[in-house]
Amino acid sequence: MKKEIMRSKLLMLSLPVFALAACGGNDNAGDGDSFPDQDINGIIQWGEGGATDNISRTLAPLAEEELGASMVMQNREGASGATGAQYVYDQPDDGYTLLFGAENPNLYPVLGISDLDYVNDFQPVSIIGQSYAGVVVSEDSEFETMEDLVDHARENPDDLTMGTSGEGGLPHVAGAMLQAELDTQFNTVPYDGDGPLATALLGDEIDVTVLAVSAAQEYVESGDFRMLSVINDEELEATGDTPAISDIYPELEQYLPWGPFQGVFVSADTPEDVVETLADGFEAAQEDEEFQSTLESLGVDPLNLRGEEAQEFVEQNQSTSTWMLEDAGETETSPEEFDIPRVDE
């Protein structure tokens, strides 16, 4: 099952990474009794400064203390996060290479990005938290409300540039929702994650984007960005008076609640005792009160799920997200082809 050949488009995007991975690797198989007895590599599938990066780098030092091993964190962005996912998948199944990821791999098969996904090729060590997304513009934007933005996008197709993090990224999925239900049409430009998207919006390279609240909040509080709505079925305490999008457009309620999540994953064939050791460490690390407060201040609902609960969460997210894209006409292949059921089935 392991180490299947990827689609050619991902191979072309990620060939340098694969070449490096093939030159080395850890030959020590994971052993629950002695694990960990060396540094652990943490691979963040998005660029610096985004929600996944911020949360992962905040949690890693706490997990180090619990596991008794140093954690070397690296950003390996590209191909909608698939470059980092493939890198982790290609390493030995010993627990010494962790994927700090968001929800994106759940969408890879239906979008034709990669043959990998969380459900079949990885297993969760921990689902850290459920995030929420916000539609954001720069503070000097002409759009004061969500209605202003939607009305303009309806009347002037492709006039506005929406920054995305590539196929399967948060803005892509949210944009598909808006297009399907509100008849909006944006000119899209891809960037490598929340951090580069925020920089692009600051530099007026784009007119609008969708960011995790955890990535957007500091810019909103500093007065650089304006959040027009949160993509949720109720307002969030962390975003104050920012309206829930379903309060403005009730037709979107069928997709909600929905949003990104952050988690820690290992390849599916990692020994069970190693996974349990990692899960114990990350579970204890997330009980840190300061970390909990950090998540809540970023508009992230702390989950701290492991084992069967974590797996069920991942499967439900995949069902919701893939069928949302399918219904919006954004998938390359139907979720049915991958035996992904609708949530209500």
Q: What is the CATH number of the domain that holds 159?
A: 3.40.190.10
3-state secondary structure of 144: coil
Cβ(38)–Cβ(152) below 8 Å: no
> Do 147 and 212 belong together in one domain?
yes
Residue 256 has φ and ψ, to the nearest 5°, of -115, 155
pLDDT of residue 6: 44
> Do 151 and 249 belong together in one domain?
yes
> Do 174 and 126 belong together in one domain?
no
Peptide bond between residue 243 and the one before it cis (omega within 30 degrees of 0): no
Query: What domain range is 264 assigned to?
Result: 8-131+260-338
Last residue of a domain, one of 232, 255, 278: 255
CA–CA distance, 196 with 298 (Å, rounded to integer): 18
Query: What's the gap between Cα 345 and its chain centre?
Result: 25
> Do 80 and 100 belong together in one domain?
yes
Non-local (6+) Cβ contacts of 19 within 8 A are none
> Do 29 and 104 belong together in one domain?
yes
Whether 306 is in a domain gets the answer: yes
pLDDT of residue 345: 55
Whether 54 is in a domain gets the answer: yes
**C-alpha angle 255/173/2, rounded to 5°?**
110
Q: Which CATH number does the domain housing residue 306 bear?
A: 3.40.190.150
CA–CA distance, 221 with 225 (Å, rounded to integer): 8
Non-local (6+) Cβ contacts of 34 within 8 A are none
pLDDT of residue 32: 54
Low-confidence ranges of the chain (pLDDT < 70): 1-32, 344-345
Whether 50 is in a domain gets the answer: yes
Whether 315 is in a domain gets the answer: yes
Whether 344 is in a domain gets the answer: no
Helix 51-67 with 272-285: angle, nearest 10 deg = 110
pLDDT of residue 238: 81
> Do 185 and 162 belong together in one domain?
yes
Residue 227 has φ and ψ, to the nearest 5°, of -95, 120
pLDDT of residue 201: 97
Greatest Cα pair distance, the chain, in angstroms, is 63
> Do 23 and 112 belong together in one domain?
yes
Whether 299 is in a domain gets the answer: yes
> Do 139 and 195 belong together in one domain?
yes
pLDDT of residue 20: 38
Last residue of a domain, one of 255, 273, 296: 255
> Do 123 and 57 belong together in one domain?
yes
Cβ(47)–Cβ(76) below 8 Å: no
CA–CA distance, 191 with 200 (Å, rounded to integer): 9
Whether 3 is in a domain gets the answer: no
Q: How many domains does one find in the chain?
A: 2
CA–CA distance, 196 with 52 (Å, rounded to integer): 13
> Do 287 and 244 belong together in one domain?
no
DSSP letters for 236-300: -GGGTTPPBHHHH-GGGGGG-S---EEEEEEETTS-HHHHHHHHHHHHHHTT-HHHHHHHHHTT-
> Do 118 and 193 belong together in one domain?
no
| pLDDT, tens digit (0-9, with 9 covering 90-100), for 64-108 | 999 999 999 999 998 889 999 999 999 999 999 999 999 999 999
- Under DSSP, the state recorded for 85 is H
Alpha carbon separation from 140 to 144, 160, 286, 287 (Å, rounded): 9, 15, 38, 40
> Do 170 and 33 belong together in one domain?
no
CA–CA distance, 74 with 84 (Å, rounded to integer): 9
Last residue of a domain, one of 201, 232, 255: 255
Whether 291 is in a domain gets the answer: yes
